[in-house]
Amino acid sequence: MLSYTEYFAAILCFECLSRLIALSIAVFDCCFSTEVLEEDEYKVYLGGIVAQLQDHFPDASFMVFNFREGERRSQISDILSQYDMTVMDYPRQYEGCPMLPLEMIHHFLRSSESWLSLEGQQNVLLMHCERGGWPVLAFMLAGLLLYRKQYTGEHKTLEMVYKQAPRELLHLLSPLNPQPSQLRYLQYISRRNFGSEWPPSDTPLQLGCLMLRSLPLFEGGKGCRPVVRVYGQDPSKPANRTSKLLFSTSKTKKHVRLYQQVMPLLMLLKMIHESLPP
Protein backbone atom coordinates (compact mmCIF):
# COMPACT_ATOMS: atom_id res chain seq x y z
CA MET A 1 0.00 0.00 0.00
CA LEU A 2 1.28 3.46 -0.90
CA SER A 3 1.92 5.89 1.89
CA TYR A 4 0.10 9.25 1.97
CA THR A 5 3.16 11.07 0.65
CA GLU A 6 3.99 8.47 -2.00
CA TYR A 7 0.45 8.44 -3.34
CA PHE A 8 0.12 12.18 -3.67
CA ALA A 9 3.56 12.35 -5.24
CA ALA A 10 2.23 9.98 -7.90
CA ILE A 11 -0.78 12.20 -8.54
CA LEU A 12 1.06 15.49 -8.58
CA CYS A 13 4.33 14.66 -10.30
CA PHE A 14 5.67 17.23 -7.79
CA GLU A 15 9.22 16.01 -7.20
CA CYS A 16 10.18 18.83 -4.85
CA LEU A 17 6.90 19.84 -3.18
CA SER A 18 6.75 17.56 -0.15
CA ARG A 19 5.62 20.55 1.91
CA LEU A 20 2.70 21.07 -0.40
CA ILE A 21 1.75 17.43 -0.03
CA ALA A 22 1.96 17.71 3.75
CA LEU A 23 -0.49 20.62 3.54
CA SER A 24 -3.07 18.34 1.88
CA ILE A 25 -3.11 20.41 -1.30
CA ALA A 26 -2.84 18.51 -4.56
CA VAL A 27 -3.09 19.25 -8.28
CA PHE A 28 -4.31 16.78 -10.88
CA ASP A 29 -1.39 15.85 -13.11
CA CYS A 30 -3.45 16.36 -16.27
CA CYS A 31 -3.13 20.12 -15.59
CA PHE A 32 0.57 19.91 -16.46
CA SER A 33 0.00 18.38 -19.89
CA THR A 34 -1.11 19.72 -23.27
CA GLU A 35 -2.74 16.38 -24.07
CA VAL A 36 -6.52 16.45 -24.31
CA LEU A 37 -8.28 13.29 -23.16
CA GLU A 38 -11.39 12.04 -24.89
CA GLU A 39 -14.56 12.04 -22.78
CA ASP A 40 -14.44 8.31 -22.04
CA GLU A 41 -10.70 8.44 -21.26
CA TYR A 42 -11.27 11.39 -18.96
CA LYS A 43 -13.96 9.55 -17.01
CA VAL A 44 -11.67 6.56 -16.58
CA TYR A 45 -8.81 8.85 -15.52
CA LEU A 46 -10.85 10.61 -12.84
CA GLY A 47 -12.53 7.43 -11.70
CA GLY A 48 -9.17 5.78 -11.20
CA ILE A 49 -7.87 8.63 -9.07
CA VAL A 50 -11.03 8.77 -6.96
CA ALA A 51 -11.03 5.00 -6.42
CA GLN A 52 -7.45 5.02 -5.18
CA LEU A 53 -8.06 8.04 -2.94
CA GLN A 54 -11.05 6.44 -1.32
CA ASP A 55 -9.25 3.11 -0.98
CA HIS A 56 -6.11 4.45 0.67
CA PHE A 57 -7.72 7.29 2.65
CA PRO A 58 -11.23 6.16 3.58
CA ASP A 59 -11.56 8.76 6.35
CA ALA A 60 -10.55 11.75 4.24
CA SER A 61 -12.93 14.30 2.72
CA PHE A 62 -12.13 15.96 -0.60
CA MET A 63 -12.94 19.37 -2.02
CA VAL A 64 -12.13 20.15 -5.65
CA PHE A 65 -11.53 23.65 -7.02
CA ASN A 66 -11.82 23.71 -10.80
CA PHE A 67 -10.90 26.54 -13.18
CA ARG A 68 -13.19 26.13 -16.14
CA GLU A 69 -13.85 27.62 -19.54
CA GLY A 70 -17.11 29.47 -20.02
CA GLU A 71 -20.22 29.37 -17.86
CA ARG A 72 -21.40 25.85 -18.56
CA ARG A 73 -21.33 23.21 -15.84
CA SER A 74 -17.91 21.58 -15.90
CA GLN A 75 -17.40 17.97 -16.91
CA ILE A 76 -15.42 17.24 -13.75
CA SER A 77 -18.41 18.40 -11.67
CA ASP A 78 -20.70 15.94 -13.41
CA ILE A 79 -18.24 13.08 -12.93
CA LEU A 80 -17.17 13.73 -9.34
CA SER A 81 -20.71 14.37 -8.14
CA GLN A 82 -21.23 10.64 -8.62
CA TYR A 83 -18.60 10.12 -5.90
CA ASP A 84 -20.12 12.70 -3.52
CA MET A 85 -17.22 15.08 -4.09
CA THR A 86 -17.93 18.81 -4.01
CA VAL A 87 -16.56 20.78 -6.96
CA MET A 88 -16.37 24.57 -6.86
CA ASP A 89 -15.98 26.16 -10.29
CA TYR A 90 -14.08 29.35 -10.98
CA PRO A 91 -13.38 30.95 -14.38
CA ARG A 92 -9.95 30.39 -15.91
CA GLN A 93 -9.62 33.99 -17.05
CA TYR A 94 -11.08 37.45 -16.68
CA GLU A 95 -11.53 39.55 -19.80
CA GLY A 96 -8.93 37.44 -21.60
CA CYS A 97 -6.30 37.71 -18.85
CA PRO A 98 -5.33 34.70 -16.65
CA MET A 99 -6.35 36.56 -13.51
CA LEU A 100 -9.49 36.79 -11.41
CA PRO A 101 -11.13 39.78 -9.70
CA LEU A 102 -10.04 40.39 -6.11
CA GLU A 103 -13.46 39.51 -4.73
CA MET A 104 -13.26 36.10 -6.42
CA ILE A 105 -9.67 35.59 -5.23
CA HIS A 106 -10.77 36.47 -1.70
CA HIS A 107 -13.62 33.93 -1.87
CA PHE A 108 -11.24 31.21 -3.04
CA LEU A 109 -8.71 31.92 -0.29
CA ARG A 110 -11.30 32.03 2.48
CA SER A 111 -13.04 28.87 1.25
CA SER A 112 -9.75 26.99 0.97
CA GLU A 113 -8.53 28.10 4.39
CA SER A 114 -11.85 27.17 6.00
CA TRP A 115 -11.82 23.72 4.42
CA LEU A 116 -8.23 22.92 5.34
CA SER A 117 -8.58 24.26 8.89
CA LEU A 118 -11.59 22.22 9.99
CA GLU A 119 -10.71 20.32 13.15
CA GLY A 120 -11.44 16.68 13.77
CA GLN A 121 -11.32 15.50 10.16
CA GLN A 122 -8.77 14.91 7.41
CA ASN A 123 -9.57 17.31 4.58
CA VAL A 124 -7.77 17.38 1.25
CA LEU A 125 -7.93 20.17 -1.32
CA LEU A 126 -7.66 19.08 -4.96
CA MET A 127 -7.05 21.65 -7.70
CA HIS A 128 -7.96 21.09 -11.34
CA CYS A 129 -8.14 23.21 -14.46
CA GLU A 130 -9.59 22.74 -17.89
CA ARG A 131 -7.41 23.28 -20.94
CA GLY A 132 -5.90 26.76 -20.84
CA GLY A 133 -6.42 27.21 -17.11
CA TRP A 134 -2.90 26.40 -15.87
CA PRO A 135 -1.73 30.07 -15.57
CA VAL A 136 -4.61 31.05 -13.29
CA LEU A 137 -4.36 27.79 -11.31
CA ALA A 138 -0.66 28.45 -10.70
CA PHE A 139 -1.44 31.98 -9.52
CA MET A 140 -4.23 30.89 -7.19
CA LEU A 141 -2.08 28.12 -5.71
CA ALA A 142 0.75 30.58 -5.07
CA GLY A 143 -1.73 32.97 -3.49
CA LEU A 144 -3.04 30.24 -1.20
CA LEU A 145 0.46 29.32 -0.02
CA LEU A 146 1.17 32.98 0.78
CA TYR A 147 -2.23 33.43 2.41
CA ARG A 148 -1.60 30.49 4.73
CA LYS A 149 1.94 31.76 5.43
CA GLN A 150 3.47 28.49 4.26
CA TYR A 151 5.72 30.37 1.84
CA THR A 152 7.13 33.88 1.76
CA GLY A 153 8.19 35.99 -1.19
CA GLU A 154 5.74 36.53 -4.02
CA HIS A 155 8.23 36.04 -6.86
CA LYS A 156 9.85 32.97 -5.31
CA THR A 157 6.51 31.32 -4.60
CA LEU A 158 5.07 31.97 -8.06
CA GLU A 159 8.25 30.74 -9.74
CA MET A 160 8.24 27.59 -7.60
CA VAL A 161 4.71 26.75 -8.70
CA TYR A 162 5.32 27.53 -12.38
CA LYS A 163 8.37 25.26 -12.42
CA GLN A 164 6.18 22.24 -11.74
CA ALA A 165 4.91 22.32 -15.34
CA PRO A 166 6.93 22.35 -18.56
CA ARG A 167 7.97 25.90 -19.37
CA GLU A 168 6.54 25.65 -22.88
CA LEU A 169 3.08 24.99 -21.42
CA LEU A 170 2.71 28.61 -20.33
CA HIS A 171 3.79 29.90 -23.75
CA LEU A 172 1.33 27.60 -25.48
CA LEU A 173 -1.58 28.70 -23.33
CA SER A 174 -1.00 32.45 -23.04
CA PRO A 175 0.38 34.79 -25.73
CA LEU A 176 1.23 37.30 -22.99
CA ASN A 177 3.35 36.92 -19.87
CA PRO A 178 0.86 37.11 -16.97
CA GLN A 179 3.46 37.08 -14.19
CA PRO A 180 3.93 40.86 -13.69
CA SER A 181 0.20 41.33 -13.03
CA GLN A 182 0.05 38.15 -10.97
CA LEU A 183 2.95 39.32 -8.80
CA ARG A 184 1.16 42.60 -8.12
CA TYR A 185 -1.93 40.74 -6.94
CA LEU A 186 0.18 38.39 -4.82
CA GLN A 187 1.56 41.46 -3.07
CA TYR A 188 -2.01 42.42 -2.14
CA ILE A 189 -2.36 38.99 -0.52
CA SER A 190 0.99 39.10 1.29
CA ARG A 191 0.39 42.56 2.73
CA ARG A 192 -3.16 42.01 3.92
CA ASN A 193 -2.11 42.01 7.60
CA PHE A 194 -0.16 45.28 7.53
CA GLY A 195 -3.05 47.51 8.51
CA SER A 196 -4.47 47.72 5.01
CA GLU A 197 -8.05 46.87 4.13
CA TRP A 198 -8.56 43.39 2.70
CA PRO A 199 -9.68 42.91 0.08
CA PRO A 200 -8.67 46.39 -1.07
CA SER A 201 -11.58 48.71 -1.77
CA ASP A 202 -12.25 49.91 -5.28
CA THR A 203 -9.97 52.83 -6.06
CA PRO A 204 -9.98 54.75 -9.36
CA LEU A 205 -6.65 54.32 -11.11
CA GLN A 206 -5.12 56.11 -14.05
CA LEU A 207 -3.08 54.18 -16.61
CA GLY A 208 0.06 56.12 -17.41
CA CYS A 209 2.00 53.69 -19.59
CA LEU A 210 2.17 50.14 -20.87
CA MET A 211 5.56 48.39 -20.93
CA LEU A 212 6.27 45.71 -23.55
CA ARG A 213 9.40 43.68 -22.85
CA SER A 214 9.11 41.54 -25.97
CA LEU A 215 7.86 42.54 -29.39
CA PRO A 216 5.61 40.24 -31.43
CA LEU A 217 6.31 40.46 -35.14
CA PHE A 218 3.53 40.96 -37.67
CA GLU A 219 3.33 43.05 -40.83
CA GLY A 220 5.53 40.52 -42.63
CA GLY A 221 7.99 40.39 -39.73
CA LYS A 222 8.39 44.15 -39.48
CA GLY A 223 6.78 44.69 -36.09
CA CYS A 224 3.32 45.21 -34.65
CA ARG A 225 0.59 47.78 -34.15
CA PRO A 226 -0.62 47.35 -30.54
CA VAL A 227 -4.27 47.93 -29.76
CA VAL A 228 -4.89 48.65 -26.07
CA ARG A 229 -8.22 47.96 -24.35
CA VAL A 230 -8.97 48.87 -20.74
CA TYR A 231 -11.77 47.01 -18.93
CA GLY A 232 -13.31 47.87 -15.60
CA GLN A 233 -16.48 48.71 -13.77
CA ASP A 234 -18.57 51.60 -14.94
CA PRO A 235 -17.59 54.47 -12.59
CA SER A 236 -21.02 56.04 -13.07
CA LYS A 237 -22.73 52.87 -11.77
CA PRO A 238 -20.83 51.74 -8.63
CA ALA A 239 -23.52 49.18 -7.73
CA ASN A 240 -23.02 47.37 -11.05
CA ARG A 241 -20.07 44.94 -10.72
CA THR A 242 -20.14 43.94 -14.37
CA SER A 243 -17.00 44.70 -16.35
CA LYS A 244 -17.23 46.86 -19.45
CA LEU A 245 -14.87 48.32 -22.02
CA LEU A 246 -13.72 51.71 -20.71
CA PHE A 247 -11.15 52.61 -23.35
CA SER A 248 -9.78 51.30 -26.62
CA THR A 249 -7.21 52.64 -29.04
CA SER A 250 -8.11 52.78 -32.68
CA LYS A 251 -7.91 49.56 -34.70
CA THR A 252 -7.13 51.25 -38.01
CA LYS A 253 -3.56 51.34 -39.32
CA LYS A 254 -3.99 55.02 -40.03
CA HIS A 255 -4.10 55.85 -36.31
CA VAL A 256 -2.01 53.04 -34.76
CA ARG A 257 1.76 53.43 -34.82
CA LEU A 258 3.88 50.59 -36.19
CA TYR A 259 6.52 49.51 -33.66
CA GLN A 260 9.43 47.83 -35.40
CA GLN A 261 11.94 45.26 -34.19
CA VAL A 262 14.80 47.74 -34.42
CA MET A 263 13.20 49.81 -31.68
CA PRO A 264 14.10 49.13 -28.03
CA LEU A 265 12.25 46.17 -26.59
CA LEU A 266 11.25 48.23 -23.56
CA MET A 267 8.75 50.72 -24.93
CA LEU A 268 6.45 53.16 -23.26
CA LEU A 269 3.13 53.54 -25.06
CA LYS A 270 1.74 56.76 -23.71
CA MET A 271 -1.95 56.89 -23.15
CA ILE A 272 -4.02 60.02 -23.61
CA HIS A 273 -5.62 60.40 -20.20
CA GLU A 274 -8.33 62.68 -21.53
CA SER A 275 -9.62 59.77 -23.58
CA LEU A 276 -10.32 57.74 -20.46
CA PRO A 277 -13.66 58.09 -18.73
CA PRO A 278 -13.64 60.43 -15.72
Q: Which residues are annotated as catalytic?
A: 129
- Residue 189's DSSP bridge partners are none
**CA–CA distance, 11 with 75 (Å, rounded to integer):** 19
**CA–CA distance, 256 with 220 (Å, rounded to integer):** 17
* Closest to 264 in 3D by CA, of 215, 219, 226: 215
* Closest to 232 in 3D by CA, of 215, 216, 245, 217: 245
The DSSP code sequence of the chain is ---HHHHHHHHH--TT-HHHHHTTEEE-GGGG------HHHHHHHHHHHHHHHHHH-TTEEEEEEEEESSSSPPHHHHHHGGGT-EEEEEES-BTTBS---HHHHHHHHHHHHHHHH-TTSEEEEEEEE-TT-HHHHHHHHHHHHHHTTSS--HHHHHHHHHTTS-HHHHHHH-SS--HHHHHHHHHHHHTTTTT--SSPPP--------EESS---BGGGTEE----EEEEE-TT-TT---EEEEEE---STTTSPPEETTS-SSEE----GGGS--
- Residue 61's DSSP bridge partners are 123
